[in-house]
Structure 1
């Protein structure tokens, strides 16, 4: 059920600038993704990854991506409609981060040969990227001092479109735990694995070693 992946993703929001001082709002009241201060008491079972709490869809498998130093880079959800990845980043209080990051992402994707469509979605602009081997969908939400980004990767365009709707549903119930510590803008919020998953990964590493 739990796999590991060491491949380093090219499309990341990890360049630092100074953080500002007054807050930008996130999703509409009553709708997710939620800041942990406003998380609903809805009884929904969420996977606690430290900075993100995800309601894992039924039947999804987890794939943990590690960096060479041993830290968790990302947790992917493998579903019948594609790979879903949710990441959270430190963001400024005074302005939205996604418009800037999304513009840079489009430039990078075009240089990699993807065909791009930009659409207005539930939380703002969504990006569709069509390539010869993989189809990607990007959706992001700016919250209070954080930005959460969902990425769908699928082998076909119809699957990617289905994955996008699954991602929207996932984000509607996601909780982001930003923390109070100052961080440079665009810094990925740290991912912490539940103890049972961490033990499983450690056992895999020992077997492979």
Structure 2
């Protein structure tokens, strides 16, 4: 999840859901030249862009449950042979990881401001956190828009140091932000990640109407027909279960990228 910036005044705190920061308040009186610079391509503070291919808001889909798994805060496409794992923070489920063969995509949805997107700012934060760890980050325009392709330092099972290749993708929606973390072969060879990218694009986000501060995670739930699998049970031992994993089997590998 993301580190939330502290606000410098009561006015700014009251405007959390509008996404107005103290820096932006200070810039309200700046000249037109400065404003034009702030509106340059890729700058923060811009409204969410169009999403002609998804991900979708719940208001944009007639039947979100058709062909998708209901996780409460998101509906994710069901794909034959996939393994679904959930990840928790305290007592709340905040992320879902879909594993397909030798690749995986972790999905997390967050509340966002009403009138601006946060993906640009989030990319900067993620990149800064990884470089502080000694990793390498490239910002590229991929099939899902601007993304980060990172080499994250990790310790290998034999105790030696190595790197994990990870792709961070994100899309700003109406009052929500959806982040995907692609790992495995889909990060090593991005051209092979087409199915994971389709899953990300066809995900439906359920933001809800309750007030939420920007960057608060949208809480998920277990699907109704999920079967809990104890740690160590392999997918081919699940006797045809549609889902494996669950709160008893957390896989936090993609979360190596968390910025706190």
> Which residue of 2 is the match for residue 66 of structure 1?
88
Is 1:142 equivalent to 2:172 in the alignment? yes
SS in 2 for 1:13: coil
Tell me which of 15, 19, 42 is aligned to 2:4: 15
CA contact (8 A) 1:152 1:160 kept: no
Could you tell me whether the CA contact under 8 Å between 2:167 and 2:183 is conserved in 1? yes
Matched, 1:46 2:35: no
Q: Deviations over 1:62-109 (max 9, x none)?
A: 122234x33223221112232211111000111111001110100001
| Residues 138 and 149, structure 1, Cα contact 8 Å, conserved in 2 | yes
Q: In structure 2, which of residues 157, 169, 188 is the aligned counterpart of residue 158 of structure 1? A: 188
Instruction: Determine if contact 1:33/1:176 at 8 Å carries over to the other structure.
Output: yes
> What TM-score comes out, normalization by structure 2 length?
0.64
Q: How does 1:22-101 map to 2 (within 5 A)?
A: 24-29=47-52, 31-41=53-63, 44-67=66-89, 69-101=90-122
Structure 1: how far apart are the matches of 2:212 and 2:92?
18
Residues in 1 aligned to 2:3 and 2:117: alpha-carbon distance in whole angstroms? 15
TM-score (norm 1): 0.78
Measured after TM superposition, the shift of residue 42 of structure 1 is: 8.2
Structure 1 gap segments, 5+ residues each: 1-11
Determine the C-alpha separation between the residues in 2 that align with 1:182 and 1:150. Answer: 24
Aligned pair 1:116/2:105, yes or no?
no
SS of the equivalent of 2:115 reads coil
- Structure 1 distance, partners of 2:65, 2:214, is 32
Structure 1 residues 124, 46: closer, same or farther in 2, change over 3 A?
same
Q: Structure 2 regions of 5+ residues with no counterpart?
A: 8-15, 20-45, 153-161, 231-245, 249-260
Q: 1:179 to 1:157 in 2, by over 3 A?
A: closer
Q: Is the 8 A contact 1:27 1:33 kept in 2?
A: no
Higher-Rg structure is 2
- Aligned-residue RMSD, C-alpha: 2.9
The structure, 1 or 2, with the larger RCO (C-alpha pairs under 8 Å, 6+ apart) is: 1
1:171 match: 200
Moved more, 52-61 or 151-160: 151-160
1:133 Cα deviation (Å)?
Answer: 3.5
Distance 1:79 1:91, change over 3 A: same
